[in-house]
Amino acid sequence: MTVLNLSFAACGFLGIYQLGAVGALLRHGEKLLATVKACAGASAGALVAAVLVTAPDKLEHCKEFTYKFADNVRRQRLGAMTPGYDFMLELREGIEEVLPPNAHQVANEHLHISITHSRTGRNHMVSSFASREDLIKVLLASSFVPIYAGIRSVEFQGQKWIDGGFTDSLPVFPVGRTVTISPFSGSQDVCPRHTGRSNLQLKVANMTVNVSKENLIRFNQALFPPSLHRMKMFHHEGYEDALQFLRREKWTD
């Protein structure tokens, strides 16, 4: 049997789509998940992957946290960049609530997180975590967008790191098949259906997306979250798209 892995795209607040997809995998994709060797992700995708690997029982909690987090950002005059608002602190508190005490042990070699070196701009994949704190730091580093999320990049192992989405927004494993999940329409296994007239595609940091008005809106909503109603719609779409994938590939009973 082919080695199977999962990868979740960098997507900011549209990680809610991927949480919906994970919900479908947990409910209907037991056969698929039983064959998965590892999960990877960048930025919000890394956070979703971490939940699936270390705390799948906290999925509902993560959904509600994402809604609350998005609402707090919407309330700020300048969004996440509003002076006095600490985006990274709120994210860290959310991560702290979700990860179990042994999360780093569970995640070792099963969770692969994309981060970018702030000075060289080179990508680095982290899959070994000496402590829970190290895991948290890597997740925060993978989610840190300079200026938007703050000024100081995240330090890990004596080096400074920023969002992994800049250099590898959808990691693909070198061995086996990587099932890719993204809230942007494109060539991913689980993603929204492309509805535009043009079939033009663009590769952005290892993720192939359709050039469309819908995707441009989604990219904006990743950083500037839409209404709660729209967030819930994204969650439902992620669930349905993942369910369609499972049925299409005959992973359901």
Among 163, 168, 189, 241, the one annotated catalytic:
163
Is residue 244 classed as helix, strand or coil in its secondary structure?
A: helix
Known active-site residue 43: yes
* Phi, psi (deg, nearest 5) at residue 2: -65, 140
- Cα–Cα dist 41/195, whole Å: 26
Among 7, 43, 169, 212, the one annotated catalytic:
43
> In the chain, at which residue ranges do the beta strands (DSSP E only) sit?
4-8, 36-42, 111-117, 123-126, 154-156, 159-163, 177-181, 201-204, 207-210
Q: Which residues on adjacent β-strands are paired with residue 249?
A: none
Please answer whether residues 132 and 100 qualify as being in contact, where contact means their C-beta atoms are separated by less than 8 angstroms: no
Our CA dihedral for 63, 36, 95, 19, rounded to 10 degrees, sits at -20
Q: Which residues belong to the active site?
A: 43, 163
